[in-house]
A and B are shown apart, each in its own frame.
Chain A
Amino acid sequence: MGKAPERGGFPRLQRMGEEGFLIEFGDSLSMSVNAASLAFRAALDAAGWEGVEETATSLKSVFLRFDPLRLSHMALEVALSDLLQTHDWYGEGLPQGRKLWRVPTVFGGPHGPQLAEAAALAGMSPEDAVAQIAQTPVRVLTIGFSPGMPYLGQLPKAFDIPRKTELNPHVPPGGLALAIRQLVLFPVGTQTGWRWVGRAALDVFGQQAEQPFPLTAGDEIVFHPVDEATFEDAWAKVEQGRMVAQSEALA
């Protein structure tokens, strides 16, 4: 018998072209939909089926790429359906092996010129906004758009602020930007419609580093406020490839 109650048609299993499947756990982001995606991907990876070439998660689903000449769509469809039935993925909890990162971060000023604007939209002072962000360990909901770039959430409801319609011309590497109860941390300088609130001393894509991609979806980050001088010292070490951020295993 299935242990997984359906939630409005989810989880939903779909073919994605010639060599992919998409398993969606919802059609909008919530922490439980995201957790279900992370848990199911961990189970898929643990199953280690021959012919599966890679798995990845988005905010709300799991993508699987396979070799259709080694593993048929039909056989994989059955195996995926069976695996989906073995657990209530929404109540499964997050996978093992996740890390908690503590990242020195400067908020406001020249390193976060839209902090005041974001705080005003959230109905609080910049000081309170920084305090609330710093108190909330945020989950790496997914990694993408640009290599290594984490989408982090969720912040308290007050931070459900829209993206700007016009783009910020340039947010530098390490830039931390906020919208829709999420933060993003940019690996490279970029344009964005998210409000630039700070800068974090973590290189999320260090090509020459021992671990080029330090973050994994499901990890959590605490953005620890520091002053400008401390940040600049930390950033110099990041640029030299000497990781500053500390991480510990999450239970």
Chain B
Amino acid sequence: MTALLDILSAGPGLSLQDRGRPGLLAKGLSRGGAMDPAALAEGAALLGAAPDTALAVELAGAGGTFRAEGADLLIALTGAPMTAEIEGARVPWSGSHLLPRGTTLKIGGALQGSYGYLSVAGLDAPEILGARSAHLSGGIGRRLVAGDRLFCAPAPNLGGLMIAAEDRFSGGEIRILPSVQTAQFDRETLDRLQDTAFRKDARASRMGARMGFDGPGFSSSAHLAILSEIIVPGDIQVIGDGAPFVLLNECQSMGGYPRIATVISADLPRVAQAAPGSPIRFRFVTLEEALKARQASINYLKSLPSRAVPRVRHPGDIPDLLSYQLVSGAISAHHDPHEKEG
């Protein structure tokens, strides 16, 4: 019998995501793909799968209820930590778990951040234009809803793993570089951009995120009418109300608002992941610093297979043994590392 993941109920923002479709800007399509590519790769590492071809269910803000049909499934939960239960028993985030045939996985709301990821061994979907991800603003694929069934593979013989994920979920300092209209903003405005305490607006989507703030808008001194020009994820447009708007994976391919700066690639997933209301600050950095951060992100992805470790280990193998609560002499499979942070 075919191994399936049935979606019994779905939050408002579920979609299949992989690494997207870079290279189609000349046809008017932004790259799309997982808002938090590291979470996608962490999921692949937890399943012992190849990161380049990873596909997962992206959960925007909240999850849903899912049931394994036809076979036992191996799942991994990564990205924004959410509450998760299998047959009513809590299971830890940033880990892989067996979802036995006929059992139900329930994923609640995000405890931190915005985008959680449910990876399943063997998850597959038809390829369109070289990728299997939905590009919602571009009209490719669609949101997943209750009643959808996803093709998977029977669980491989692999124990439950866990991974110590980087915290990308709380906003904070976001590093930026100049973009093509940065010079049209005066020094005072660029200083104010770096001094302002922004809050991520609640209306953020896969297309972009507006930055809320107190005070006057960020107008460019030139006030030139800008002919629509190519825009890319990371660019910070100053929109009509004077607010910075960070373009994300599913942005349009052209836009006419002035761009005050652009977010470095290493920090863009942190803008996407920041929960609504999270504090955001911008800081201009040198190109050298941006490239160092880019290399560090690549190194982190490469290190993931070795970071995925068995969840239950021999106590002698645990270097930080004293930091665990050894109530019953073992690590609880139901321990949620994020529970006490809330």
Contacts and interface: CB of A to CB of B under 8 A. Distances in A.
Interface stretch (B20-28, B47-55, B67-75, B196-204): B20-28
A: interface residue count bin? 35 or more
Contact of A55 (B26, B254, B295): B26
Chain A binding surface, main DSSP class = loop
A19 B22 CA distance: 13
A162 interface: no
Contact of B291 (A16, A63, A69, A143): A69
B139 A29 contact: no
Nearest to A68: B291
A20 B234 CA distance: 11
Contacts of B139: 146-147, 187-188, 205, 207
Interface residues of B, number: 37
B125 interface: no
Contact of A145 (B254, B262, B287): B254
A100 B304 CA distance: 50
Given A16-B180, A18-B264, A29-B227, A145 B22 contact: no
Contacts of A16: 179-180, 232, 262
A15 B290 CA distance: 14
Interface in A29-61: 29, 53-61
B232 A65 contact: yes
Contacts of B24: 147, 213
A165 interface: no
Interface string B256-298: 0000001011000000000000000000000100110011001
A112 B232 CA distance: 33
Interface in B312-332: none
B165 interface: no
Contact of B252 (A17, A20, A145): A145
Contacts of B294: 18, 68-69
B129 interface: yes
Interface string B218-234: 00000000011110101
Contact of A19 (B25, B129, B265, B298): B265
A27 B222 CA distance: 14
B128 interface: yes
Give the interface centre of A22, A60, A144 by most chain B CB atoms within 10 Å. Answer: A144
Contacts of A17: 177-179, 232, 234-235, 262, 264
B140 interface: yes
Contact of A207 (B128, B180, B234): B128
Contacts of A240: none
A145 B228 contact: yes
A224 interface: no
Contact of B26 (A14, A15, A143): A143
Interface in A147-203: 147-149, 187-188
Interface in B168-188: 177-180
Contacts of B234: 17-18
A212 interface: yes
Interface in A1-26: 14-20, 22
A20 B231 CA distance: 10
Contact of A18 (B229, B252, B262): B262
Contact of A54 (B22, B129, B180): B22
B29 interface: yes
Interface string B128-152: 1100000100111000000000000
B222 to A, nearest CB: 11
Contacts of A213: 24, 27
A114 interface: no
Given A18-B290, A68-B294, A73-B287, A144 B227 contact: no
Given A16-B262, A142-B254, A59 B228 contact: yes
Contact of B253 (A19, A53, A69, A144): A144
A142 B255 CA distance: 13
A211 to B, nearest CB: 11
B291 A212 contact: no
A146 B129 CA distance: 16
Interface string A216-241: 11000000000000000000000000
12 contacts: A16-B179, A18-B177, A18-B262, A53-B23, A59-B227, A59-B228, A65-B232, A144-B228, A144-B230, A144-B252, A146-B28, A148-B27
Given A143-B27, A148-B27, 6 more contacts: A22-B180, A22-B230, A55-B26, A207-B140, A213-B27, A216-B26
Interface of A: 14-20, 22, 27-29, 53-61, 63, 65, 68-69, 73, 142-149, 187-188, 205, 207-208, 212-213, 216-217
